[in-house]
A and B are shown apart, each in its own frame.
Chain A
Amino acid sequence: QKEVEQNSGPLSVPEGAIASLNCTYSDRGSQSFFWYRQYSGKSPELIMSIYSNGDKEDGRFTAQLNKASQYVSLLIRDSQPSDSATYLCAVNTGFQKLVFGTGTRLLVSP
């Protein structure tokens, strides 16, 4: 069973701080990795995708991938209350199929 593991949280950070969200996966053959943000009652929204080892930055968001450790993370700089949501990690294990983690709930307090 191919698995994606996330801490369910909640992860609480003050406004302006850096939020660090982590994800591990079991399939060493995984090629692509995605972070989605999901507000309560809404559908997931793509935040970042990453395919190569290292860091990828997009505005306040940085995705980090370490394939040797089977670890992917998402950093959110200057966290805002509007960032409060559940963040889903998804891993493409081949054949266009994504395996999702259960998500980490982030709470940013003003």
Chain B
Amino acid sequence: DGGITQSPKYLFRKEGQNVTLSCEQNLNHDAMYWYRQDPGQGLRLIYYSQIVNDFQKGDIAEGYSVSREKKESFPLTVTSAQKNPTAFYLCASSIPGQSSSTDTQYFGPGTRLTVL
């Protein structure tokens, strides 16, 4: 089955710890994204990558880091520098469209991170 997988589904972190969220896709999509969603709010872009070994900061990159060593994988690390990390984290990937402005993004099931 083709799709986007995220693990774990639920993650608990103690203050001061770094944690890494996994995102894998077997859709052969070039671009991958990380979003954060807080209750009652829309999705906010953390990082995105259009190609292997390259990524760009989104609107709220502070306290997060990513890598893109393989096309299929785009892990997100939430560092201790992120002061309010409790949120629903969503990974997405996109089908290459006729232009960069028409790419359609599809989402994984998400990881719910809670800081204890």
Contacting residues, chain B, for A97 (C-beta < 8 A): 45, 48, 58
Of the candidates B42, B102, B108, the one whose C-beta lies within 8 Å of that of A32 is B102
Count how many chain A residues have C-beta atoms less than 8 Å from C-beta atoms of the other chain.
25
Would you give the 0/1 interface string for B33-49, flagging 1 where the beta carbon is closer than 8 Å to chain A?
Answer: 00100001111110010
A88 within 8 A of B: yes
A75 to chain B, nearest CB (A): 20
Contacting residues, chain B, for A46 (C-beta < 8 A): 104-106
Report whether B103 and A92 are in contact in the complex, using a CB–CB cutoff of 8 Å. Answer: yes
Contacting residues, chain B, for A43 (C-beta < 8 A): 90, 107-110
A96 within 8 A of B: yes
B87 to chain A, nearest CB (A): 13
Of the candidates B41, B50, B104, the one whose C-beta lies within 8 Å of that of A34 is B104
Q: How many A-B residue pairs have CB under 8 A?
A: 59
B101 within 8 A of A: yes
B9 to chain A, nearest CB (A): 10
Considering only residues 23-50 of chain A, those with a C-beta below 8 Å from chain B are 31-32, 34, 36, 42-46, 49
The 9 closest A-B pairs by CB, nearest first: A31-B101, A100-B42, A100-B43, A43-B107, A102-B42, A43-B110, A32-B102, A96-B100, A44-B107
Contacting residues, chain A, for B43 (C-beta < 8 A): 44, 88, 90, 98, 100
Q: In whole angstroms, what is the CA distance A101 to B94 when docked?
A: 19
Known: A102-B40, A102-B42, A103-B42. A96 touches B110 (CB 8 A): no
Considering only residues 67-115 of chain B, those with a C-beta below 8 Å from chain A are 90, 94, 99-110
